């Protein structure tokens, strides 16, 4: 029975064929997966993964290029490039835990890559994973700050409205209409 690791390995092989110029590999992918005994849900997973990587390949390659510090993207081995494409896609576009993504990529690297591929892939995916975690943390902080600012602004606006409108009022209804607008109704004496 095929596992997700087997499906990912097959995706790397399909990416290799695609990157080597076989742009029609998708037509033959179901048969190739079936030969590898990757069927049903695992085949669907593999085909979806392959399709999504191809659909986002330009962005994925851009992320890889930005992460390569002393390497030229064009000089990367085709297998290394395909493993990185898979790992970067899963890191950026899915909610799968980053250590799982890195571990899967390392295991595939041990099977399909050269002796240095696992360490190289680990380094690149780890740096991209750190950037994603930092971006998520920043986004979370900004969201929390926005919520606090909203609450503070709403409270300040309500207090200011009460102070200004209630000075000469005997009965006054106050309701918040939007984030900053307060509407008042009532009789003034």
Domain boundaries, given as residue ranges, for the chain: 4-139, 144-188
φ, ψ dihedrals at 188, nearest 5° = -110, 140
- 167 DSSP 8-state letter: T
pLDDT of residue 141: 75
Q: How far apart are CA 107 and CA 119, in angstroms?
A: 11
CATH number of 4-139: 1.10.940.10
Q: Is the pLDDT of residue 119 over 90?
A: yes
pLDDT of residue 163: 47
pLDDT of residue 185: 44
User: For 150-158, what is the mean pLDDT?
Assistant: 48
Q: How many CB atoms lie within 10 A of CB 79?
A: 21
Q: How far apart are CA 98 and CA 106, in angstroms?
A: 12
Place of tokens 């110029």: 21
pLDDT of residue 150: 52
Place of tokens 């851009």: 62
Q: Is the pLDDT of residue 118 over 60?
A: yes
């Amino acid at each position: 029975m095929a596992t997700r690791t087997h499906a990912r390995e097959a995706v790397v092989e399909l990416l290799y064929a695609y990157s080597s110029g076989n742009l029609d590999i998708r037509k033959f992918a179901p048969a190739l997966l079936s030969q590898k005994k990757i069927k049903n849900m695992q085949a669907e997973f593999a085909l979806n993964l392959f399709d999504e990587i191809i659909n986002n390949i330009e962005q994925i390659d851009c992320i890889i290029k930005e992460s390569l510090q002393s390497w030229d993207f064009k000089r990367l081995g085709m297998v290394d490039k395909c493993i990185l494409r898979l790992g970067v896609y899963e890191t950026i576009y899915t909610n799968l835990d980053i250590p799982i993504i890195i571990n899967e990529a390392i295991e595939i690297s041990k099977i399909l890559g050269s002796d240095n591929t696992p360490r190289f892939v680990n380094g690149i995916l780890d740096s991209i994973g750190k950037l994603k975690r930092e971006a998520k943390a920043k986004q979370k902080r900004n969201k929390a700050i926005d919520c606090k600012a909203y609450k503070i602004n709403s409270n300040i606006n309500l207090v200011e409205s009460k102070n200004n409108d209630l000075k000469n009022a005997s009965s006054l209804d106050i309701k918040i209409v939007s984030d900053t607008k307060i509407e008042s109704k009532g009789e003034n004496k």
